[in-house]
Amino acid sequence: MICMAVYSTEENKKDEYLSRTLESLERTVDFTKHRLILSVNAYTPVTQLIFRNYRDIISEIIWNDINLGTAEAINLGWKTRKQGEHAIKMDDDVVIHQSGWVDLMEEICNVDKFIGQVGLKRKDLIENPNHENEFYRSTLYMQRLQWREVQLEKCHHIMGTCVMHSNNLLNELGYMWQPKLYGFDDSLMSLRSELAGFKNVFIPEIDIEHIDEGQTPFQTWKHGEADIYLKQDETGKSIYYTICQEYKTGIRDIYYNPFL
């Protein structure tokens, strides 16, 4: 399943990006085999028209009364996950150019039960095999599939622009969690995945384009939300660092289920 949190307002002007995202899904995904669920935190009259234009590929729309934030909106979609089903978390402002990427992600998860996350790698990400910082240093390796080999890039952090979370991973971790409405859901999911013994990988060969230019007050607000958790206190530690340490030491459970 593919789940997308939609947040379109007159202020952030994301309807154009949403339309381009859905158009790319229509071109590149076989929706006789996969399903698309939209969890809507905010919408405009144009958003509703866009949904009607792409109603043939949308399996379900969840209308949220308030902005639940990214993680909880995605969780509502993932709650409909069928037994054995992998779940993709995808942003509403990206374009993917190659067909068959969902099938490739699915095959990678099926062939290696220890892969927790399979992501498509944006060009602006800094992870690479030669990075001087160990956290951003990646490892390239070849994975044998049924008909060919594919190069994967093992990383600590898989940016959540478009990421498949394997059925095995979700059985162990439950759902996504983030401190507030925006930020850190992806990085914390990657950390929880590693702590549970899974690998996180990118597929470098699939071209993904982040199309939001980030020139709106919404982008400024998002950076402000993130800064709250990255600001260091007098001991040199941030709230985000403390949360990560809680996961690593077991104070905070890596399993999260808001529906229990």
% pLDDT > 70, the chain: 100
Is 17 inside any structural domain? yes
Q: Which domain holds residue 243?
A: 2-249
Is 155 inside any structural domain? yes
- Residue 191 confidence (pLDDT): 98
Question: From CA 126, how far away is CA 108, in angstroms rounded?
Answer: 23
Q: Measuring CA to CA, which residue among 113, 137, 201 is closest to residue 164?
A: 201
In this prediction, residues 1-13 reach a mean pLDDT of 93
pLDDT tens profile 181-237: 888 999 999 999 999 999 999 999 998 999 987 776 777 777 787 788 888 888 888
Question: From CA 215, how far away is CA 255, in angstroms rounded?
Answer: 36
In this prediction, residues 134-154 reach a mean pLDDT of 96
Is 232 inside any structural domain? yes
Is 256 inside any structural domain? no
% pLDDT > 90, the chain: 84
pLDDT tens profile 87-105: 999 999 999 999 999 999 9
Confidence of residue 242 (pLDDT cuts 50, 70, 90): very high
CATH number reported for the structural domain that contains residue 16 in this entry: 3.90.550.10
Is 228 inside any structural domain? yes
In this prediction, residues 76-80 reach a mean pLDDT of 97
- Residue 226 confidence (pLDDT): 78
- Across the chain, what does the average pLDDT equal? 94
Contact 62, 85 (CB under 8 A): no
- Residue 233 confidence (pLDDT): 83
- Asked whether residue 82 carries a pLDDT value surpassing 90, the answer given is yes
- Cα angle: 49, vertex 8, 78; to 5 degrees: 95
Is 259 inside any structural domain? no
In this prediction, residues 31-51 reach a mean pLDDT of 97
Backbone angles phi, psi at 3, to 5 degrees: -120, 130
- Residue 218 confidence (pLDDT): 73
The pTM for the full model equals 0.94
Is 257 inside any structural domain? no
Is 255 inside any structural domain? no
- Residue 256 confidence (pLDDT): 98
Question: From CA 50, how far away is CA 22, in angstroms rounded?
Answer: 9
Q: DSSP string of the chain?
A: -EEEEEE--TTTT-HHHHHHHHHHHHHH--TTT--EEEEEEE--HHHHHHHHHTTTT--EEEE-SS---HHHHHHHHHTTPPTT--EEEE-SSEEE-STTHHHHHHHHHHH-TTEEEEEEPPTT---BTT-SSGGGB-EEEEEE-SSSEEEEEE-S---TTEEEE-HHHHHHHBS---SSSSS-HHHHHHHHHHHTT-EEEEETTS-EEE-----SHHHHHHHHHHHHHH---TTS--HHHHHHHHHHHTSS-S-B-TT-
Kindly state the tokens that stand for 185: 């859901």
Question: From CA 203, how far away is CA 101, in angstroms rounded?
Answer: 9
Q: Measuring CA to CA, which residue among 86, 77, 74, 146 is closest to residue 116?
A: 86
**How many domains does the structure of the chain reveal?**
1
pLDDT tens profile 161-172: 999 999 999 999
Contact 175, 140 (CB under 8 A): no
Only one residue has tokens 């990427």, namely: 101
- Asked whether residue 120 carries a pLDDT value surpassing 90, the answer given is yes
Query: Which residues, 6+ apart, have CB-to-CB distance to 100 below 8 Å?
Result: 28, 30
